[in-house]
Structure 1
C-alpha cells in the first residue's frame, strides 16, 4: 500500500469517528463516572474494530453482505444489547439517586467497560460492511489482502481509540469541573436514555 492511500484511509476514519454513534455515547456514559472506565470502553471499541477487520480479511463478514437474514439477526442482537446497557444504566442511576449515593460504574470493574465497548462494536454489522465496502478500494490488486486489510483495521482502531479517549477525558474533566450531583445524574440518565433509544431504533429498523 502507498502512503497516499494510507493517509486517505486515515482521513476517512477520522471523519467517521467524528460522527456520533453508539460507541460515542457508550464511552460518554462510562466517562461521566470515571475516566479510566471511559478509556477502557474506548479500547474495547477499538478491539471490536480489529475483530471486524479480521472477519473481513478472512471472508467471514461477506456472509452479512450476502445474507439479509444474518445481517438482521446481528443487528437485532446489537440493538438488544444497547437497550440492555441503556436500561441497566438508567436503573442504576435511579437506585443510586434514591439511596443518596453517587451513580457510578463499579470502580473494580474496568474490564466490564472494555468488554461493553468491544461487544457493542462487534454487534454492529455496519462496521463490518464498512470494511467490506471501503477496504478493497485501498488495497492494491497484487497486494496481500489479509495483511493489508488488517493494516487498515489497525488504522481504524487507532483512530477510534484516540478520538474516543479524547471524548472520555473531556467528559470526565467536565464532570470534575462541574461536580454537581444533579448535573452528573442528568447527564448519566441522558446518555443511558440515548443508548436505549439507539437500541430500540436498531431493532425497529432491522424489522423493516
Structure 2
C-alpha cells in the first residue's frame, strides 16, 4: 500500500473517530464516574474495531452486506442496546446511582465498562459499513487481503483509542465541576435521553 493511500485512510479514520456518536457519549459517562472505567470502555471500543476488521478479513461480515435482513437485524439490535443503556442511565440516577455506569472501583467495574464499549462498537452499523464499504477501497490488487485488512483495522482502533482516551482525560479533569450534584444529575439525565434518542433513531433506520 502506498504511503499516500495509508495517510488518506488515517484521515478518514480520524474523521470517523471524532464524529459524535454513542461510543463518545458512553466514554464520557464512564469517565465522569471513574477514569479507569472510561479508559476501559475506550479499550473495549477500540477492540470492537479490531473484531470488525477480523470479521471482514475472514469474510464473515461480508454476509451482512448482501443480506437486507441481516443488516436490519444488526441495526435493530444496536438501536435496542443504545435505548437500554439510555434507560439504565436515567433509572440509575433515580435508584441512587446504582446503574451499570456507576459500579464502584474494582475489576467488576472495569470489565463492565470494557464490555459496554465493545458491545456498543460491535452493534454500531456505521462501523460495520465503514469496514465493508471503505476498507476494501484501500486494499491493493495482489496484496495480502487478510494482513492488510487487519493493518487498517488496527490503525482505526489506535486512532479511536487515542481520541477516546483524550475524551477520558478531559472528562476526568473536569469531573470536580461536572460531579456537582445539580450538574451531574443534569448530565446523567441528558446523556440517558440522548442515548435513548440514538437508539430509537438507529432502530427506526432499520425499516
Which band: TM-score by shorter chain? over 0.9
Equivalent position of 1:14 in the other structure: 14
State the 1:183 CA deviation.
0.6
Equivalent position of 1:196 in the other structure: 196
Matched, 1:26 2:39: no
State the 1:104 CA deviation.
2.7
Kept in 1, the 8 Å contact 2:45–2:114? The answer is: yes
TM-score by length of 2: 0.93
Distance in 2, matches of 1:83 and 1:179, equals 24
Aligned-CA RMSD value: 1.6
Distance in 1, matches of 2:83 and 2:149, equals 31
Task: Provide the aligned length of Structure 1 versus Structure 2.
Answer: 203
Equivalent position of 2:206 in the other structure: 206
- How does 1:1-208 map onto structure 2 within 5 Å? 1-96=1-96, 104-108=102-106, 109-207=109-207
Kept in 1, the 8 Å contact 2:32–2:178? The answer is: no
Kept in 2, the 8 Å contact 1:34–1:105? The answer is: no
Deviations 1:36-83 (A, max 9, x none): 111111110101111111111111111111001000001111111111
Kept in 1, the 8 Å contact 2:64–2:70? The answer is: yes
- SS of the residue aligned with 1:96? coil
Any gaps of 5 or more consecutive residues in structure 1? none
Any gaps of 5 or more consecutive residues in structure 2? none
Distance in 2, matches of 1:63 and 1:84, equals 27
Distance in 1, matches of 2:30 and 2:84, equals 15
State the 1:92 CA deviation.
0.9
